Amino acid sequence: MQSLDLIIGPDGWGNLLLKGAVVTVLLAVTTVPFGFGAGLLLAVLKGSSSRVVRAGCDAFTTFFRGIPDLLSLFLVYFGLQALFDYAGKAVGLHVELDAFVAGVIALSVVVAAYSSEVWIAAINGVAKGQIEAALSLGLTKAQTFRKVVLPQLFRIALPGLGNIWTILLKDTSLISTLAVMDLLRAASEASRFTRSPMLFYCVAAGMYLVISIASGALQAWFEARSNRAYAA
């Protein structure tokens, strides 16, 4: 009962944990459109006829897939802050980079690097005959991509993107190193003040698990819905 009071009692830490869970989900949801969108753009550019463009995209994905995600977060946070400081001196202003925004940018960069490979596989998964037929009808490559390839990409890429989403949910915990009050940071604060680390870290683990299971169920629903026309 004493342990329960530490969480949901009048002086409990339950509200802080719930707020931390909201920040975690919000961070992941905010990252998705930027990360997946940039990943799709990278996938398209990797098919460019320009060697320079292809090499630049390959270097980008190789770099951010090859270093720890935490290091990516630090590079973005401190790198952008240094850039803001340098630019601010020129105009006499000081701009402080918000840690949440830095987390979104850093995670978007990492998600873009990983999701680009998923998008490439999805693009290659579209039947070549459909593309050839569209081109033979007089559509340009851009029109073919927009009207033939793009509508099919989400269905093909969904399983891979779902796996990246699950990883992203766990990677949001990295933002706690920037003093953002996410779920892990909330659990750390609670355990530090109450000296009950196992209690709060186990509660945090359970909350992460619930979010992941709910996300998995939602992904399964999306997959079933997107594949309903292909069901036997």
Averaged over successive runs of 10 residues, the pLDDT of the chain (232 residues) comes to 60 83 94 95 91 94 92 89 82 81 91 94 86 83 82 88 92 87 88 85 92 92 78 54
The predicted model scores a pTM of 0.87
What secondary structure does DSSP assign to the chain, as a single string?
A: -HHHHHHHSTT-SHHHHHHHHHHHHHHHHHHHHHHHHHHHHHHHHTT-S-HHHHHHHHHHHHHHHHS-HHHHHHHHHHHHHHHHHHHHHHHT---PPPHHHHHHHHHHHHHHHHHHHHHHHHHHHS-HHHHHHHHHTT--HHHHIIIIIHHHHHHHHHHHHHHHHHHHHHHGGGGGGGT---HHHHHHHHHHHHT-HHHHHHHHHHHHHHHHHHHHHHHHHHHHHHTGGG--
What residue numbers bound the domain in which 115 lies? Answer: 2-230
Predicted confidence at residue 65, as pLDDT, reads 92
Q: What CATH number has the domain bearing residue 92?
A: 1.10.3720.10
Number of domains comprising the chain: 1
Predicted confidence at residue 90, as pLDDT, reads 75
Q: What is the mean pLDDT of the chain?
A: 87
